[in-house]
Amino acid sequence: MVKNILGTSFFQLLSIVLKFLFGVFMAYTFGASDEMDSYVVSITIITLIYTLLTNIQPKALIPYIQGIGTKEKKSAVSAIISFNIKGFMIISLVVWLCSPFLIRIFAPGLASSPSYLASQLLRISSVYLFISSFVALGNALIEMNLRAPFAARIRLYQTTLLLLLVLLLSQYIGIFSLPTAHVFSMLLIIPFYFPFLKVGGINYSPLYQQ
């Protein structure tokens, strides 16, 4: 128990440090600019939607899964995964299609040029929103299997990848490197969740061991 707590705390601390470095890099590279304003608006919208959705689903359904039998659990997990994918796909598509409208709602004072850029960044970030649904579900399933240190380790990997990708891409695509790095960092950590899943249900003997 103590080992798990210390491991989780250690990885979470490293993630916080890397997120701080990510913020320092953004400030150094883009500074106070219209581009940065556009990015902040777009990522704020995505973060708000993601937080609202993940606080409801799938976390709210995990206690239900824990309270049913093994046979029913397999079909329940499959149904939740299917619902998760379809739901986030629809929401991400709506965000992509309505990005200019959402920018006008959340940042009515933004000038026309930054507003257009924000809508483009928001469309890229909508892909990140869809991919994040898999990660949120994976984290919930890992925590259900009492593997919190492993979940914290994956978040550390994702933060590390995010920072490295922004460092690499920023010199080529500028401000677009930020949402693009979010998308690819999420894609690259999804395979870490595979050992916790199998066709038709949960794998309660993960391949990855602490």
Q: What is the pLDDT of residue 144?
A: 61
| Spans of the chain, pLDDT less than 50 | 198-210
pLDDT recorded at residue 21: 80
Average pLDDT over the chain reads 76
pLDDT at 112: 82
Domain assignment present for 208: no
Question: What crossing angle do the helices spanning 112-144 and 70-97 adopt, rounded to 10°?
Answer: 180
Query: Which domain does 144 fall in, by range?
Result: 2-202
The reply to whether 43 falls in a domain is yes
Query: Which pLDDT does position 206 carry in this prediction?
Result: 40
What's residue 123's pLDDT?
92
Predicted pLDDT of residue 13: 79
Distance CA 93, CA 102 (A): 13
Backbone angles phi, psi at 198, to 5 degrees: -150, 170
Q: How far apart are the first and last CA of the chain?
A: 13
Count of the separate structural domains present in the chain = 1
Report the residue count for the chain.
210
